[in-house]
Amino acid sequence: MFILRGQRKIRIKRYTETQQCCPNCKTFDLQVNVYKDYFHLFFIPFFPTGVKSSSMYCYHCSSFIRFDSLQHEYEKKTRIPFWLYSGLLLVGCLIVTIVVAANIDAKEERIFVQHPQAGDVYTIRDDKGGKLRYFFLKVNSIQGDSVFTLHSNLEYSRYISKPQSKDFFVEDEELVFTKAELLQMLDKGEISSVKR
């Protein structure tokens, strides 16, 4: 897989220095640029790396100058911009979004199991006998606390979100569960998903 990553340098602040004169032309018109290295992934900055650096430039004579003590002073007072952490911020937001969406789905599935309706389809995870298998149960009817379901014809060796086109529900094989049993199955992880 091709991933664009690496380090880049960016100017994080520009200052105009009017207290120090240029040693070449003796004018008081110097520019100080402060730079910071950062790690990027697909050119999105993730976090700053290394130390700050700076350069001084005279507007008048167009020459680069070194005043180490003055440059270090500007480097110290320059703060690292928050946007250099934007990649980490995006990853954090993505994780929070996934967690919130999973919680919403779990609550919705719980409500669907507590209040079943005819036509609901449950994905059942069964690992009895040491062999993992998945199948579907479709709610056929509800009478009081009893939920009558139909078993899917096919069983699957891995999780699948919906029945295959050749799969069907066996009409003459009705399984009966109480609502409490269905909730217990959901809590144990036997019901993997609920579709309404």
Q: Which residues of the chain have pLDDT under 50?
A: none
Report the distance separating Cα 140 and Cα 146, nearest Å: 11
* Amino acid identity, position 143: Q
* Amino acid 1: pLDDT: 61
* Amino acid 140: pLDDT: 93
* Amino acid 164: pLDDT: 86
* Residue 190 buriedness (CB in 10 A; 0-12 / 13-18 / 19+): middle
* Amino acid 30: pLDDT: 93
* Amino acid 163: pLDDT: 86
**H helix runs in 16-85, sequence order:** 68-77
